[in-house]
Structure 1
Amino acid sequence: MARTRLLFACLALAAPLVPATAQAAPLPASGLVLSVRPEMGTLSTTQLTCEPAGGLHKNAKAACDGLTPVDGDFTKMERAADAACTMELNTTKATLKGKWRGKKVVFEQVFSNPCEMRVHTGKVFDF
């Protein structure tokens, strides 16, 4: 009986020293190249990494927060309900290429103007 108590006492003291093996596996890397090409304007490009948010994108955290619920597909993002844009015609192409959680992604969508693009994509293409 004394041996059993001694064994349990040793195990209790040693438990904090054993590294946890049931940790969640890290998500595969998400590295994206984003570009915006307005018909009347210049091409803009940046890099975005998510999980953790970073890269050259000036709003990296907000952009990643917008892409996460749609699994990296900005074409599935919902239009901001309270936003309004002018009727300006300046077709603008938004492109996203790279890897999202280890899977190759390529998405592209054309909007009637830069304002409409921002309304539909939040901070993703605000760089």
Structure 2
Amino acid sequence: MRNTARWAATLGLTAATVCGPLAHSALAAPETPAASPASLYAPSALVLTMGHGESAASAGAARAVTLSCAPRPSGTHPAPALACAELRAVGGDPDALAGPGDALCTRQYDPVVVTVDGVWQGKRVAFERTFANECVKNAAESSLFTF
């Protein structure tokens, strides 16, 4: 049941992020026949979740944020501009940003799972990573996972 609720929330937030600006522009009368700048970008809207547990199905989302990178960084992520820049640098691959950092962490096992679901430049993104604990998650040295 938790997994169903998580997917419903993810899809709802993604739809609102991607379709919200489209609905507004569809209702507005065009000023000129040329395309608006917002319509020139492929959608890049993601929902990021974080929970305690070994998998997203068993963890349940403790926190969730949205991140939209086109036409400009926005969303509920605490650092959308930095997170979007990091994603652009790795071609939208969250796995490239989840690598180990230089921080020294304890070996305490208190698993933290992070998911990234949505669309990056028009392509579907589905990412899940389980970190041994919160320190290891934060050691990834990426603002994408800092929320």
TM-score by length of 2: 0.61
Shift of 1:70: 1.8
User: Which residues in structure 2 correspond to 1:1-127 (within 5 Å)?
Assistant: 26-39=40-53, 43-51=62-70, 52-77=72-97, 78-80=99-101, 82-120=102-140, 122-127=142-147
- Counterpart of 1:44, as a letter, is R
Separation of aligned partners in 1, 2:60 and 2:107: 17
Contact 1:30 1:100 in 2 (8 A): yes
Shift of 1:42: 6.5
Query: Which is richer in helix?
Result: 2
Point out where structure 1 has 5 or more consecutive residues left out of the alignment: 1-24
CA displacement 1:72-126 (0-9 Å, x = unmatched): 221122433x322222211011100000011111011111011211222511121
Q: Percent identity, aligned pairs only?
A: 31
Superposition RMSD in Å: 2.4
**What is the total number of aligned residue pairs between the two structures?**
103
Query: Which is richer in strand?
Result: 1
Shift of 1:71: 1.8
> Which has the higher Rg, Structure 1 or Structure 2?
1
Point out where structure 2 has 5 or more consecutive residues left out of the alignment: 1-38, 54-58
